[in-house]
Amino acid sequence: MDPATLTLSAMAQQLHAGSLQPTTLVDACLARVAARDERLHCMTQVFADEARVRARALEADTPGGPLWGIPWVAKDILATRLGRTTCGSRMLEHFRSPYDATVVQRLEEAGAILLGKSNMDEFGMGSSTENSAFGDSRNPWDPERVPGGSSGGSAAAVAADYCGFALGTDTGGSIRQPAAFCGVVGLKPTYGRVSRYGQVAFASSLDQIGPITKCVEDAALVLQAVAGHDPRDSTSLREAVPQWGTELESVPAAPAAVRVGVPRNFVQHGVEAAVRADFAHVLDTLRAAGASIVDVEIPHARYAIAAYYIIATAEASSNLARYDGVRYTRREDASDLGELYARTRTLGFGREVKRRILLGTFVLSSGYYDAYYLRAQKVRTLLRGDFDAAFAKCDILAMPTSPTPPFRLGERTQDPLQMYLSDVFTVPANLAGLPAASIPTAVVDGLPLGVQIYAPALEESRLLHAAAWLQGLLGFERLTHRGRA
């Protein structure tokens, strides 16, 4: 069996038993990249030589924890000393970071092997990985479909068996939506659970780093390795990190009296028939297994997309102001400072990034701040209250991850509003800072679908237990897509 097709947990078991060596595993993953990435274009950079050197060095040591010897892929928004950190943008096309992001450093210490960096929507702004300056990524299930975004390269790399796991970032659904589109697991932790030091900022009050894996148990192992306080990130929480990987070894076959909240008024509009039917099947499966399905209200969720695209663009406008051609970014020739700024930003930023900078600058401008930005922040506060009230009635919330299956390349690039609505069920978690995960549920007409689970803040244990239980109930077997692309 090709070891690249194994789950992270199965890779680790064989590595620790000595029946699989890190060099063999790295070579198997690199072979998958070489065979498939010309078509799928998941990767912006592949560190083949460096990964092999690292694997040989590890073989000289005693196997360590569960990530020892596991090849992984970093979204190209995470700073790495190895290679470049481009954010999918011409603005940072040649930028080399002098340091590693905290999550990269922690995975290095855990013995994981960085295989390369994955393609993404420019600066994390997109839902299809069609906004990358370096070309579109494609879905391993159907290369004429998008892999989702903005972490589409990471999700597609995991689905195509390039690696044991990948890291993505989630500002409004950018881990969970591509995970659903690619038939893998994606987890966004509670805001502050994972250090953002070394993540290039899009919207600082919304961004969060998390794992994309082949199963829920693998997500728990990766989250355990990267979570925890970091003094270099002022938003990093000082909460203890549970042993999530160990906890899932004893997931009960049928958790007693689990109350699953469903915000029906929120999830009944704009959902395609295949997704609606799949979600109904998931609820029936949970009910048959003993869970209680509870109707709950999230009254302000209908305003979430509007509030998100005010807050996120406002923060993006501020964060991206540093890319001016003066310091470490692309720099265009100009006769004066104003022309330098204009030429550098015109040629360095893509269309979607420019659109969001303009929106963000507008909502922060004099005379519009109160009407837009301040009002959006009030909606955010109300939304948090809605979730508090909902979780008083249930243990977890369930909803579709995306209102549609993976859509075709180019289908929504000329309609930004439809593209933004791809995240209608994911952005509320970011606005409220809650942990949420997407798990694969079914394959319909050759395309994967996913369901999303929310839990209260800092309740990743509850989230992971529920996700693992549901994964077992659904009996979903991940396909390897061999020969599809």
> Which residues participate in catalysis according to the annotation?
75, 150, 174
Instruction: List, in sequence order, every beta strand (DSSP E) within 138-242.
Output: 165-169, 185-188, 209-213
- State the greatest distance between any 2 C-alpha atoms of the chain, in Å, as a whole number: 71
Q: Hey, is 118 helix, strand or coil? A: strand
How open is the CA angle 254-257-263, to the nearest 5 degrees? 110
- Angle, helices 375-391 vs 304-319, to 10°: value is 130
Round to whole Å and give the CA distance between 456 and 222.
20
Task: Identify which of 178, 180, 149, 144 has the alpha carbon closest to the alpha carbon of residue 410.
Answer: 144
Whose tokens are 């990743």? That residue is 460
Task: Identify which of 296, 299, 305 has the alpha carbon closest to the alpha carbon of residue 264.
Answer: 296
What is the separation, in whole angstroms, between the first and last Cα of the chain? 20
Round to whole Å and give the CA distance between 82 and 116.
9
Residues whose CB is less than 8 angstroms from the CB of residue 161 and which lie 6 or more positions away in sequence, other chains included: 2, 4, 5, 29, 32, 480, 481
Q: How far is CA 421 from CA 33, 262, 308, 417, in A?
A: 32, 19, 11, 6
Round to whole Å and give the CA distance between 445 and 438.
20
Contact in structure between 129 and 148 (CB atoms under 8 Å):
yes
Round to whole Å and give the CA distance between 119 and 476.
27
Q: How far is CA 2 from CA 15, 72, 157, 335, 450, in A?
A: 14, 16, 16, 58, 26
Tokens for 319? 């964060």
> What is the secondary structure of 38-106 as a DSSP string?
HHH--EEEE-HHHHHHHHHHHHTS---STTTT-EEEEETTB--SSS---TT-GGGTT---SS--HHHHH
Round to whole Å and give the CA distance between 183 and 422.
16
Round to whole Å and give the CA distance between 218 and 286.
22
Tokens for 151? 């972490």
